[in-house]
């Protein structure tokens, strides 16, 4: 083991040990009997998963994650593994078990077309670059084998398409073509993904396992919301622990308000699956419409009165969905209190 490998091993080992302690603390703090960790393909793997699976019952952590494309390809090719290409279905989920793990086999027709289109676009771009390189070699402007090979590798590695091309490089000679057999083989996996979990069928059914994994997209969206447009948790301009905790708490509370607004305004914010339009535009646009309410304040005989202006049709719809009082007289009296 090299010094670099040893340092990396110690670093990973410390992270694993720390994560087990943290999850144990979460169990104790929230009096949780079970913890299910949902992670993407890069999080729940290797030493982490082995450590959680071998933990004692009081520290046991179940997981839901997905296999990487390379892992799926390897398992499909292994005749001894129960995951086989024929089991992937667009209309239903297939479940297989192996080595104490449950695999949920899914196929998405929409991502299948997207993956095919993306691969074809990258192949075409690479082919264009290689064809230009071939013309240079034929014209005698590039002769040395090392330089030709360096150019070839530069382009076929740029978009990760090297497995899909066959090429030969010699002194003053270069030819290439697509490996159509490999491309056809790879296309059979388009739209396929495999969710793997340590949970048994009695603990969670396949549909819920899939939905829990898909919920990661909402978590990622929440982090984007927290960091950027709506909440802006960054930059943190506080210098002591109490204020930093207060800032994070307020941002988390704001995110909870956003979630509740999305829930109540669902009919205005649901997007059309074809053109992605929605009646309300966006939550930001809805907030802007609510800012357009007019409120008149006037005094008469020593008394102050408040008068709410007319609601537009859009504002009225928003208020009804949010459960806000829409009787202008009642609302005026409430504002005057």
Could you read off the pLDDT of 56-108 as tens digits, one per residue?
A: 666 667 888 888 888 888 888 887 888 888 888 888 888 998 888 899 999 88
Tokens of 77: 């090719």
Does 166 score more than 70 pLDDT? yes
Q: Are residues 17 and 89 in the same domain?
A: yes
Q: Is residue 271 assigned to a domain?
A: no
Q: What is the model's pLDDT at position 12?
A: 43
Predicted TM-score of the model (pTM): 0.67
Q: Is residue 20 assigned to a domain?
A: yes
Decide: 196 and 103 in contact? Cβ < 8 Å.
yes
pLDDT digits (tens, 9 = 90+) for 7-43: 444 444 554 455 666 777 777 777 877 778 888 776 6
pLDDT digits (tens, 9 = 90+) for 203-223: 999 999 999 988 888 888 887
Q: Is residue 243 assigned to a domain?
A: yes
Q: Is residue 272 assigned to a domain?
A: no
Q: Are residues 71 and 204 in the same domain?
A: yes
CB atoms within 10 A of CB 165: 19
Q: Are residues 99 and 199 in the same domain?
A: yes
pLDDT digits (tens, 9 = 90+) for 46-63: 666 666 666 666 666 788
Report the half-sphere exposure of 25 (CA within 13 A, side-chain side): 6
Number of folded domains in the chain? Answer: 4
In the predicted model, what is the mean pLDDT of the chain?
A: 81
Q: Are residues 141 and 254 in the same domain?
A: no
Q: Which residue has the higher pLDDT, 242 or 315?
A: 242
Q: Are residues 10 and 144 in the same domain?
A: no
pLDDT digits (tens, 9 = 90+) for 176-196: 999 999 999 889 899 999 999
Q: Are residues 83 and 203 in the same domain?
A: yes
Q: What is the model's pLDDT at position 239?
A: 86
Q: What is the model's pLDDT at position 6?
A: 47
Q: Going by C-beta distance under 8 Å and a sequence separation of 6 or more, which residues neighbour residue 36?
A: 61, 62, 63, 64, 199, 212
The alpha helices in 2-93, defined as continuous H runs, are 3-29, 46-53, 69-77
Coil vs helix vs strand at 15: helix
Q: Which of 58, 38, 200 is nearest to 49 (CA)?
A: 38
Q: Is residue 9 assigned to a domain?
A: yes
Alpha-carbon 142 to chain mean position? 44
Q: Is residue 270 assigned to a domain?
A: no
| 295 φ, ψ (degrees, to nearest 5) | -135, 120
Q: State which residues form the domain around 252.
A: 221-264
Q: Is residue 70 assigned to a domain?
A: yes
Q: Going by C-beta distance under 8 Å and a sequence separation of 6 or more, which residues neighbour residue 37?
A: 23, 44, 52, 61, 62, 63, 64
Report the Cα–Cα distance between both ends of the chain, in Å, rounded: 75
pLDDT digits (tens, 9 = 90+) for 280-326: 778 888 888 888 877 777 787 777 777 777 888 888 888 888 887 77
Decide: 52 and 20 in contact? Cβ < 8 Å.
yes
- Positive or negative, the Cα torsion across 16, 56, 194, 183? positive
Q: Are residues 13 and 99 in the same domain?
A: yes
């Amino acid at each position: 083991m090299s010094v670099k490998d040893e340092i990396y091993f110690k670093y990973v080992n410390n992270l694993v040990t720390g994560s087990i302690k943290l999850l144990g603390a979460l169990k104790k703090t929230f009096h949780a009997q079970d913890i299910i960790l949902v992670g993407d393909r890069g999080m729940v793997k290797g030493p982490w998963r082995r450590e959680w699976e071998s933990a004692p019952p009081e520290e046991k952590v179940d997981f839901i994650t997905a296999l990487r494309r390379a892992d799926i390809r390897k398992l499909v090719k292994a005749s001894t593994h129960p995951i086989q290409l024929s089991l992937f279905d667009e209309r239903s989920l297939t479940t297989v078990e192996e080595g104490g793990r449950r695999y949920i086999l899914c196929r998405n027709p929409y991502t299948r077309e997207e993956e095919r289109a993306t691969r074809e676009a990258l192949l075409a771009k690479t082919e264009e670059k290689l064809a230009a390189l071939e013309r240079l070699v034929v014209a005698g402007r590039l002769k040395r084998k090392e330089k030709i090979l360096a150019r070839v590798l530069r382009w076929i590695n740029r978009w990760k398409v090297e497995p899909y091309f066959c090429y030969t490089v010699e002194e003053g000679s270069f030819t290439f073509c697509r490996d159509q057999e490999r491309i056809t083989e790879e296309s059979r996996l388009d739209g396929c993904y495999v969710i793997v979990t340590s949970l048994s069928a009695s603990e969670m059914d396949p549909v819920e396992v899939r939905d829990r994994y898909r919920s990661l997209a909402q978590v990622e969206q929440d982090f984007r919301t927290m960091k950027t447009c709506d909440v802006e948790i960054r930059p943190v301009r506080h210098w002591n622990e109490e204020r930093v905790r207060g800032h994070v708490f307020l941002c988390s509370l704001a995110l909870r308000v956003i979630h509740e607004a999305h829930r109540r305004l669902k009919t205005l914010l649901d997007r059309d699956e074809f053109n992605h339009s929605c009646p309300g535009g966006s939550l930001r646009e809805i907030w802007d419409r609510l800012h357009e309410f007019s409120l008149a304040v006037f005094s008469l005989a020593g008394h102050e009165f408040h008068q709410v202006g007319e609601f537009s049709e859009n504002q009225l719809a928003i208020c009804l969905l949010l459960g806000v009082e829409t009787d202008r007289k009642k609302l005026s009296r409430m504002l005057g209190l």
